[in-house]
Amino acid sequence: MNAARAIRAKYAHLATRVEVSLRINQVITHVPFGEGTVRAYMDTTSGDVDMELGALENPDATVTTDYETARKIFVDQDQTASMQAFMSGKIKVEGDMMKIMAMQTSLPQDDTALKIAAEVKDITA
């Protein structure tokens, strides 16, 4: 997480602002390290993508999935995997589903976002 945080900080001055305000908790199960479950969050209320370990109070939604699925979605950025996982029940959502759907189309996909994603992928591969 520290290495991913450093990558995001390196590009912070170039990052595109996020238009959709979302506070989402993520619970990732069956993690092959630590205690087997990771709790993290994403908060875009500032216009930046703030990702950190822990949990937000009163999130818009909580998403629970297994490590393999989370890796495909967040690291590999496989959009097909997210839809397949949701339809097969590998992703459980509590809260405002409309905000989650809005987030999928509002996160920046510009050169800076792609650089960040590639560097994060390199450190998790």
Q: Beta partners for 39? A: 27
pLDDT given at position 76: 81
- Per-residue confidence band for 35, with pLDDT thresholds at 50, 70 and 90: confident
In a domain, 28, yes or no: yes
Query: Which residues form the domain of 24?
Result: 16-105
Supply the CATH number for residue 61's domain: 3.30.1050.10
**Angle between helix 2-10 and 111-124 (nearest 10):** 160
Q: Estimate to the nearest angstrom the gap between the alpha carbon of 54 and the chain centroid.
A: 13
Q: Is the predicted pLDDT of residue 125 greater than 70, yes or no?
A: no
* Mean pLDDT value across residues 87-109: 84
Total domains in the fold of the chain: 1
**Tokens, residue 77:** 């950025």
Confidence band, pLDDT 50/70/90 cuts, at residue 78 = confident
pLDDT band at residue 11 under the 50/70/90 scheme: confident
Decide if 94 is inside a domain: yes
Question: pLDDT by residue (tens digit) across 40-72?
Answer: 999 999 988 888 999 999 999 999 999 999 988
